[in-house]
Amino acid sequence: MAGYEYVSPEQLAGFDKYKYSAVDTNPLSLYIMHPFWNTIVKVFPTWLAPNLITFSGFLLVVFNFLLMAYFDPDFYASAPGYKHVPDWVWIVVGILNFIAYTLDGVDGKQARRTNSSTPLGELFDHGLDSWSCVYFVVTVYSIFGRGPSGVSVFVLYLLLWVVLFSFILSHWEKYNTGILFLPWGYDISQVTISFVYIVTAIVGVEACMDPSVAFRYFRVAS
């Protein structure tokens, strides 16, 4: 399909008029994450391309997926009687997930900081985000697994569609309004997921099946 015209001349001309517009009302983002990202972005040299930051964060998400796939290829590692994922893996995945989330938050700031914002950069960023929706949901699934006290694959399938639909819906809204209203769920879920990974390493996957396990652990620890 080398001769197929994917973008018309009229559409290409619209790139010069396009301006990114987004609204973020999430208190977590406004009062915690954005100030944190504003500090982090100053660490990056101005020659560092925003798209490289975007791609690096995406690679971390893929790495987490592959790492968990190695230790839990059939999603039974969290089930009773099966060999569990090592604790250090949960810690690594939790840290890398938060780093990937941070890189996704600073790539746009780096673009504006270096005056290199482009529509194609936004397309690249959000295109990779659409793929990340699949990878991070499947990676989180390993916490619960497919065992008798876990979550069925059908529920995983439904969760994937919920996340993807939310992503598509927000961009469909932007297509019609010209403004991207950032959903609260993304920031809250990423911070929560990173925290849950670390907690899983401390108290074990049993706490996800029975929350009282976690309460007993922290009661003993205190």
Count Cβ atoms within 10 A of the Cβ of residue 89 and give its class: 0-12 exposed, 13-18 middle, 19 or more buried: buried
Which of the residues 34, 84, 126, 171 is marked catalytic? 126
φ/ψ of 193, rounded to 5, equals -60, -45
- Distance (Å, rounded) from C-alpha 36 to C-alpha 116? 21
Contact of 204 with 84, CB cutoff 8 Å: yes
CA separation for the pair 164, 130 (Å, rounded): 7
Query: What single-letter amino acid sits at 164?
Result: L
- Region label for 85, one of left (φ > 0), alpha (ψ between -120 and 50) or beta (otherwise): beta
E strands of the chain, at which residues? 22-23, 180-181
The SS3 of residue 53 is helix
In the annotation, is 171 catalytic?
A: no
Residues annotated catalytic, as ranges: 126
